[in-house]
């Protein structure tokens, strides 16, 4: 700690801070709020697009690093593991732990914020390294949990139960746990006895973002749309739990060739088969599907290495006429908030967290319940065709979100946690 100085050096740690996955975006927003309060933020990860002046790249900490993939191939989908796998986990852990120590010394880190690396066991050595380091140094740490391993079927058969209990997440007195929804808070307490603070994902609803009309037109042109075309945007990665076939079905049933479906993120984390299947499915249904495979920029990371990526999501949202979000499962649902931030009408599938945490706040959206009804299609058509209806819907939603999901709320929760550690507020 810097004497009576209230500003802290805060170290963000994860396997990846790059691109536009939810964890990276949320970490960038947290950093923004903390920097506004005068704190300094530093970054450590295995894949990184932050300014090298304030970050440390540790290639072994990346979940796709060959050693880590070798480990994962041998522990997930298996019930037992060989001792050489345990040895490799410890060897990689030791290496990462040394790097973490250097990171803390180099930037005089007062406090860590661990983004999902103590939550989902995609990188076991990283989680174990963090656990040991935090236990030894008693360094104040916020563990920010986005999705727990018990929420994902692919981790249900594994040979690392000992490590999961130890580090995903660890129960240590210098760690404050933050989860993104109330179901996770409840599960975490039931399974581990760990109490946590619910901090939902947020956006800066106090400040709306300026639109760049030239960029906008250029974007539409770059995906081959004419000014008359209506863009229906599916603003998610191409993974099966996003339910993208429902968006294709919607465009088919709207039955108007001007309606084009655009998907904004790449496939990847979970293979390309689903993406291929969607292309065929769209073709068979006569739906014009455009995949924007550009490397997307993170709109919250001002000083990124990937500044040469042509678009951020912020360039795409403004020209969408309608947003589809038919996810089957979400931890929170960033795309939901983003659609509301850009004042776009949307169709949403009532996934569990939406029903439990978001719906009661009173948003005005078109909801489907696992399948698309005639009424849904009619509502979407009416919304697309009536400016009055659209206006009323999006203004109402913006006001509700500003109340519950703004940076103001995040500032309050983070101050509370920092106060818990240091007895001083952050601003």
DSSP secondary structure of 332-356 = S-HHHHHHHHTT--EEEE--HHIII
Return the pLDDT at 1. 44
What is the value of pTM for the model shown? 0.86
What's phi and psi for 383, nearest 5 deg?
A: -65, -40
Instruction: Find the DSSP H helices in 210-359.
Output: 213-222, 244-254, 273-284, 313-316, 334-341, 352-353
Which residues are CB-contacts of 6 (< 8 A; sequence separation ≥ 6)? 38, 422, 424, 425, 426, 427
Lowest mean pLDDT among 268-282, 306-320, 333-347: 306-320
Give all strands (DSSP E) within 123-181, no chain letters: 141-145, 175-179
Per-residue pLDDT band for 222 (boundaries 50, 70, 90) equals: confident
Grade residue 268 by pLDDT with cuts at 50, 70 and 90.
Answer: low
Say what the pLDDT of residue 331 is: 85
- Separation CA 345–CA 355 (nearest Å): 18
Higher pLDDT, residue 352 or 222: 352
Which superfamily does 213-404 belong to?
A: Glycogen Phosphorylase B; (3.40.50.2000)
Task: Point out the least confidently predicted range of 24-33, 86-95, 232-241.
Answer: 232-241
C-alpha closest to that of 367 among 382, 381, 355: 355
- Residue 166 three-state SS: helix
Does 138 have pLDDT greater than 90?
yes
Q: Which residues of 56-67 are buried (b: 16+ CB within 10 A; e: fewer)?
A: bbbebbbbebeb
What is the SS3 assignment for 93?
helix
Lowest mean pLDDT among 161-165, 261-265, 275-279: 261-265
pLDDT value of position 218? 76
Average pLDDT, the chain: 91
pLDDT of res. 2: 45
pLDDT attached to residue 298: 74
- Cα(217)–Cα(93) distance, integer angstroms: 48
Q: Which residues pair with 312 in a beta bridge?
A: 297
Label residue 157 exposed, middle or buried (CB < 10 Å: 0-12, 13-18, 19+): exposed
CA distance 382 to 189: 44
Residue among 180, 172, 170 nearest 147 (CA)? 180
- Structure confidence at residue 306 (pLDDT): 47
Does residue 199 surpass a pLDDT of 50?
Answer: yes
Domain(s) labelled CATH 3.40.50.2000 in the chain stretch across 9-202+407-422, 213-404
The share of the chain scoring above pLDDT 90, in percent, equals 76
Question: What is the model's pLDDT at position 236?
Answer: 86
- Asked if the model's pLDDT at residue 301 lies above 80, the reply is no
Are the beta carbons of 202 and 29 closer than 8 angstroms? yes
Evaluate if residue 3 carries a pLDDT over 70.
no
8 A C-beta contact, residue 113 and residue 27: yes
Query: Does residue 58 surpass a pLDDT of 80?
Result: yes
Over range 140-153, report the average pLDDT.
95
Give me the CATH topology for the region 9-202+407-422. Answer: Rossmann fold (3.40.50)
Q: Rounded to 10 degrees, what is the CA torsion of 292, 293, 297, 299?
A: 30
Structure tokens at 285: 């249904």
* Higher-confidence position of 236 and 286: 286
Residue for token pair 């969408």: 320
Asked if pLDDT for residue 280 goes beyond 50, the answer is: yes
Closest CA to 229 of 264, 261, 265, 263: 261
Instruction: Indicate whether 333 pLDDT > 90.
Output: no
Mean predicted confidence (pLDDT) in 390-401: 96
Structure tokens at 81: 């593991």
What pLDDT shows up at residue 305?
A: 47
- Residue range 1-30: average pLDDT? 85
């Amino acid at each position: 700690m810097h004497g009576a100085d209230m500003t802290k050096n805060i170290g963000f740690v994860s396997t990846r801070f790059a691109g536009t996955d939810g964890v990276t975006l949320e970490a960038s927003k947290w950093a923004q709020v903390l920097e506004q309060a005068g704190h300094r933020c530093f970054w450590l990860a295995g894949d990184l697009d932050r300014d090298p002046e304030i970050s440390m790249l540790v290639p072994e900490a990346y979940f796709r690093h060959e050693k880590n993939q070798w480990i994962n191939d041998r522990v997930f989908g298996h019930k037992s593991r060989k001792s050489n796998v345990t040895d490799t986990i410890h060897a990689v852990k030791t290496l990462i732990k040394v790097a973490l120590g250097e990171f803390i010394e180099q930037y005089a880190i007062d406090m860590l914020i661990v983004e999902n690396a103590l939550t989902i066991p995609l990188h076991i050595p990283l989680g174990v390294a963090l656990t040991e380091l935090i236990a030894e140094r008693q360094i104040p740490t916020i563990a920010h949990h986005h999705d727990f391993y018990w929420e994902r079927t692919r981790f249900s058969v594994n040979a690392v139960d000992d490590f999961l209990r130890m580090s995903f997440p660890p129960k240590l007195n210098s760690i404050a746990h933050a989860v993104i929804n109330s179901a996770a808070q409840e599960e975490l307490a039931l399974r581990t006895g760990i109490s946590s603070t619910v901090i939902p994902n947020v956006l800066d609803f106090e400040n709306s973002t300026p639109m760049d009309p030239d960029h906008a037109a250029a974007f539409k042109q770059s995906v081959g749309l004419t000014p008359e075309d209506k863009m229906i945007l599916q603003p998610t990665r191409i993974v099966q739990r996003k339910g993208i076939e429902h968006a294709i079905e919607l465009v088919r049933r709207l039955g108007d060739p001007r309606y084009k479906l655009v998907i904004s993120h790449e496939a990847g984390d979970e293979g390309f088969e689903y993406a291929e299947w969607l292309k065929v499915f769209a073709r068979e249904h006569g739906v014009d599907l455009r995949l924007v495979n550009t490397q997307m920029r993170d709109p919250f990371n001002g000083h990124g290495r990937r500044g040469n990526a042509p678009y951020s999501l912020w360039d795409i949202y403004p020209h969408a006429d309608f947003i589809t979000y038919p996810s089957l499962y979400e931890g929170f649902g960033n795309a939901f908030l983003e659609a509301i931030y850009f004042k776009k009408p949307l169709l949403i599938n009532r996934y569990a967290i939406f029903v439990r945490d978001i719906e009661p706040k009173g948003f005005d959206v078109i909801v489907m319940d696992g399948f698309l009804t005639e009424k849904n299609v009619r509502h979407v058509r009416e919304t697309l065709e009536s400016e009055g209806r659209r206006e009323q819907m999006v203004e109402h939603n913006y006001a509700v979100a500003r109340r519950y999901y703004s940076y103001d709320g995040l500032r309050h929760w983070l101050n509370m946690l920092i106060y818990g550690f240091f007895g001083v507020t952050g601003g």
